[in-house]
Amino acid sequence: MKYFINILLLLSVTQIDAQGFNKTTDIGQRAAIFTNISISNDTITLIGLNYDTTLPYRAGVCFVQMDTFGNIINQLSHYTNEDFWSPSNKQGFIKLKEHKGYAIIGNHFNSQRGYLLRLDENGEYIFLKRYLIGDFLTNYWQHILETNNGFLVALNKQKPDYDNNCFVYRLDKFGNIQWQISIGDEKYDFVTDLTKRSDNEYMLSRLAAVNYGNTNQTDDRTQTVITGFDSTGNILWELNTPLDLEEGGATGIRKMANGDWLYATAKPLLIDESWFAQNKFVRRDSNFNLVWEKEYGFPSYRGGGFEDFKPYPGGGYVATGYLANGSWQSGYVCRVDDDCNPVWERLDTAFYYPNEAFNILAASDFLASGSIITCGQTRNYDEQKSYGWVLKITPDGCIDTLLCNPIVGAPQLPDSEQMTVQVYPNPASDRVHFRSLPMQAGRMEIIDSHGSIRGIVPIVQGQSEWSADVSALPGGIYFYRVIGAKGYFITGRFLVL
């Protein structure tokens, strides 16, 4: 009997551990957000920004550690009296292998100086090193890598004429600058990635832009530029895409075994004199010629996109970020296979309001079980307070395993049964119509940009046309998901005016 009870307890714990969660984190501060994450031995370490609860409301770095159930087991805050500071919202936080503990880079709000903060494995202070900005207006310290005896840091510097330049610093283990190089010659250059290929070769990706941000789209041009350099700062090579509006810098770039390049990017779009970004994955051959590109999500208003793109331990990749639709911002995570075909996509919110919502995901890491932990920030408008936000997503894209609702989920239709669905009118204002080859019995779900199902239309066996009333839906982009009796999915999107 005792053996049987132990088996039941083990099964119960395993089932609970497989369950995901969607948690906001109040660490007792006036506000807190998470920008980066690292997982080691089932301990989730989060870094971010928080505001003190007492005057003068200092801004500093928060260090939070959780177990795999999302329970806080350790938390610390670090402030300075003379300046506010913020960690980078890019790859500005790493768990160190050679030196142990953690390294964090970011910027001081008032002086606009960059900094390097070293913490031990428990988040205790080791040292803080600040850096002068010289003749520049601001320094934006974005990405950090650990080297054999120190660090590489990629940053942007803004000049008095507001042009932007990219720099790489080589720091020793105490944060002293050993060398620096400037990369880029366009009017606007923005660091988007810093990657190690070997002990003597590194890659910096940047967005190079001309007239970017003007409403006259014919004058706007952007491109992805990747520069290779060695451990002493010598430029080895440089590759770039055409100077057009197809890409905006590479995130998570990697050189594959066959010499091809793979990365995530965003295509700038000008729609009704407003800027949008369309997420996509891009693969290029060894000469940087386009092999394929695959779009994900929907055009995101005023930014949005992939903040993080990294290999998934079980194969393929996971991309993390957010999508914006008007005044709504929703966290976005997608898992893809080795060729960037969809496994699943999710849109999530923590606090939902009918007129606006602010939910951004910044970075992800992985548990040994294959579950994905992703972090970011959300805002409670009733309390006028920002919270750190953490999601645990199971390998199949679920948070609640009983009510799993990723936007796209396996299995897809097999090749022999591929179908397409025509949607018209698109955009629609009153009723949207759908047409396809004769369908299996099933249903169609209409899903808003927050991942909520806003309507269900039944489909009978052999039906090839159906429609949905969308007159009561707020204007915006919606997804449809057609689910057949065998569980096959067909997905797409449409716009409601």
pLDDT value at position 392? 95
Bridge-based pairing of strands 357-366 and 328-336 is parallel
pLDDT value at position 416? 36
- Give me the half-sphere count of Cα atoms (radius 13 Å) on the Cβ side of residue 135: 4
pLDDT value at position 292? 95
pTM over 0.85: no
pLDDT value at position 329? 83
Task: Average pLDDT across each block of 10 residues of the chain; the chain has 497 residues. List them in order.
Answer: 36 51 82 89 91 73 93 89 66 82 85 88 93 79 91 89 87 95 82 91 89 53 90 93 85 89 88 81 92 86 82 94 80 92 86 78 94 93 88 88 54 47 89 85 77 80 89 87 62 84
Quick one: 413 exposed, middle or buried, by C-beta within 10 A (0-12, 13-18, 19+)? middle
Cα–Cα distance measured from residue 386 to residue 194, given in angstroms and rounded to the nearest whole number:
29
Which distant-in-sequence residues (6+ apart) come within 8 Å of 109 by Cβ?
59, 83, 84, 85, 86
Q: Radius of gyration of the chain from Cα atoms? A: 24
pLDDT value at position 126? 95
